[in-house]
Amino acid sequence: MLNKSLRLNITLPIYAFVLTLAFAGFFSMLEVDTFHDGILLKPALDVAKGKILFKDTFTQYGALTTFIQTLGIKIFGPYLISLRLTAALFYAASAVALWKIWLRFLSLFATGVTFLIWLLLSPYYILLFHPWSSIYALFFQSLSLIFLLRFFDTQKKSFLIAAGVGAALTFWCRQPVGVLLFAAIIFFWVFLALIRRQSRKYVLLYSLLTLFGFILGSLPFFFYLIRYNAILDWWKQSIVLAFIFGQVKGGSFSILEIFKSLFLVKPNGPTLLWLLWPLSCVYMAIKAIFKLISDQVDQRNPIKILAVSFVCFASWLQYYPITDYAHVYWAASPMIGLSIYALKPFYKTKLKTIILLTVVLLVYHSKFIARIDTAWYKIHKRKYYRIEQPNALRFMNLVSSQAVFHTKVVDIVSKYLDDHPDKTYVNLHSHAFYSLIHPNYFRPYIYHNSVIYPDYRENAVDYIEVSKPLVIEHYEISDFLYNYQLIYIDEANDFSILIPTD
């Protein structure tokens, strides 16, 4: 028979998984964002149909994100809900991974409290649920940290290789997070050797093992890219475009803009309360450094604290360049447990833990209340509708305006293309979702094509002039469509449909 403590250690992470899946899964079924959902759904559907990622279809994120979402489509069907539920599953898996990390420093009760704080701060209560690459990156980032901590427990070098693999998988979900995670682990080894005055051979060995794991985890993706001659397109879409995006959104990587993001001094962003998590990690790192310098007999715990801190510092950089409640949440997730551990002197008993929880609730009172209020409104006050077309939105719950808009668009496009079976349609809109309205769609959708594929728009214009397809465009219509007739326009959705006049 298992003792009570062991039973709880086994069952409570399962409860955390189920509770997270229930919350995330429910909110994943609500509403649609044609921009953000389309960016992810289009390549996943294309790959599910046998197209080559980066070569036949476009994604600005890591290949693993699309492959995971393609698997979700294979399991659940060719719908947006498949991506949303897959992301909800990874939220739940991250809950278990984070629980395992937090339990290394916190009591079982404090770990449960930390989990509830993490769950209640989730962004999908107040924002739309986005099946973003950061969700998958969070899971593999947490997995990498678990392997790193296991190395300290066992001294088995295979765990360092596994930590490198985890960093690689993080990279292939969301490139900046994986690069920063890998750099943080390497820098941790260098820093640890400096403060402990260890031989350089240990730094080199541990770094090479981590690097080996990173390369090992990346090999399947490079084999795929080389086999299908897609490596140049991958470089343009996932590396060059990611750099350009950061440059544009982050003010050319200026130190001032990075500082504003990290310390949350940008206007209309999350409040400074979100700065408490990374600052707590800074405090714990400094505390661990002093313990290591003091040459205490047992330095295993300070080393682990320092390792977690370095991973948290890398995650903190996700506050830049987009600082909103979703990005700071994904970035802060690994920090929350370490921040609660920083308060350990104040909750050595269950009573003190309850008092501490009350204090945390008071500090974050407005954040929790805002999420509860918005979630309650979404559940009980808002009326939802389901539509059959476009097929990608089946089983999704849409608000009235969304249901009316998408039904109208599908009706117009389908009627025209059914009446003109020799015609196709072209999506000049920046929302990739509009490429999924009808099967007669011409060319793979490429967002930001003018940056990395300067000839794409020119080729599209040439095709339009010769083939005269139906065109989906923004509210502001391009000049070269002068021989087209506007048949539908929706200013609220920045959307228009045009057909040729001849």
**Residues spanned by the domain of 495:** 399-500
How high is the pLDDT of residue 448?
Answer: 47
H-run or E-run covering 498? strand 495-500
Shared domain check, 140 and 66: yes
Residues 321 and 467 in one domain: no
Tell me, what's the pLDDT at 348? 66
Q: Which residues of the chain have pLDDT under 70?
A: 1-2, 4-5, 198, 295-298, 347-350, 352-353, 356-357, 361, 365, 443-450
Which among 317, 344, 377 is the end of a domain?
A: 377
Torsion over CA of 390, 396, 399 and 403, rounded to 10 degrees? 10
The amino acid at residue 314 is A
CA distances from 193 to 285, 289, 290 (A): 15, 12, 14
Could you say which of 345, 377, 409 is where a domain stops?
Answer: 377
Give me the pLDDT at residue 347, please: 66
The residue out of 319, 345, 377 marking a domain boundary is 377
Residue 159 and residue 90 share a domain: yes
Q: Is 124 contained in some domain?
A: yes
Beta strand segments in 2-154, E: none
Number of domains within the chain:
2
Q: What is the DSSP letter of 265?
A: -
The single-letter code of the amino acid at 261 is S
Classify residue 391 by its DSSP letter: G
- Please check whether residues 176 and 30 belong to one and the same domain: yes
Phi, psi dihedral angles at 127 (to 5 degrees): -115, 170
Rounded to whole angstroms, the Cα distance separating 259 from 280 reads 17
Residue 10, beta-bridge partner list: none
3-state helix, strand, coil in the chain (%, to 5): 70, 5, 25
**First and final C-alpha spacing in the chain:** 81
Instruction: Provide φ and ψ at 304, rounded to 5°.
Output: -65, -40
Residues 410 and 316 in one domain: no
CA distances to 53, 393, 455 from 57, rounded to whole Å, are 5, 20, 16
Largest CA distance in the chain: 86
CA 345 to chain centre: 34
Does 408 lie in the same domain as 346? no
Q: Residue 460: what pLDDT?
A: 81
151 and 269 in a single domain? The answer is: yes
* Residue 394 within a domain: no
Q: Provide the strand spans (E) within 352-483.
A: 425-427, 470-473
Among residues 88, 195, 101, 114, the alpha carbon closest in space to that of 141 is found at 101
Residue 68 domain-assigned? yes
Are both 350 and 495 inside the same structural domain?
Answer: no
Residue 388 lies in a domain: no
82: nearest Cα among 69, 68, 66: 69
- Kindly state whether residue 16 falls inside one of the protein's structural domains: yes
State phi, psi for 355 to the nearest 5 degrees: -65, -45
Q: Is 54 left (phi over 0), alpha (psi -120 to 50) or beta?
A: left
Residue 383: inside a domain, yes or no? no
Same domain? 357 vs 474: no
Within this chain, do residues 434 and 359 fall inside the same structural domain, yes or no? no
Query: Is residue 140 situated within a structural domain?
Result: yes
pLDDT digits (tens, 9 = 90+) for 317-346: 999 988 899 999 999 999 999 998 988 777
Same domain, 406 and 298: no
The answer to whether residue 389 is domain-embedded is no
**Strands laid side by side in the 470-473 sheet:** 425-427, 470-473, 495-500, 484-490
Query: Does residue 256 share a domain with residue 199?
Result: yes
